[in-house]
Amino acid sequence: MIMMQIGAPVTNHAAIYLGDNIILHHNFGNLSTRVPYGEYWRNRTVRVVRRKELMHVEDTDA
């Protein structure tokens, strides 16, 4: 999960990394969408969390 800060002083948005540089996220008032994890989202990322069981798994898509 990618946690982001968008137009606020606190973390207020999250997305799921799907691989191949694509994230799944949901903006208020819209349907969930798959979008590239580009500069806009990267610049607003404050934390990336991963299940403990997957900490040593290689991610070849990143």
What lies within 8 Å, CB to CB, of 35 at 6+ separation is: 22, 23, 25, 41
The answer to whether 24 touches 15, Cβ cutoff 8 Å, is yes
- Higher-confidence position of 47 and 28: 47
Q: Tokens 């290689």 identify what position?
A: 58
pLDDT at 62: 47
pLDDT at 45: 97
Q: Tokens 């798959």 identify what position?
A: 34
Phi–psi pair at 9, nearest 5 degrees:
-80, 0
Q: Give, rounded to a whole angstrom, the gap between the first and last alpha carbons of the chain.
A: 13
pLDDT greater than 70 at residue 55? no
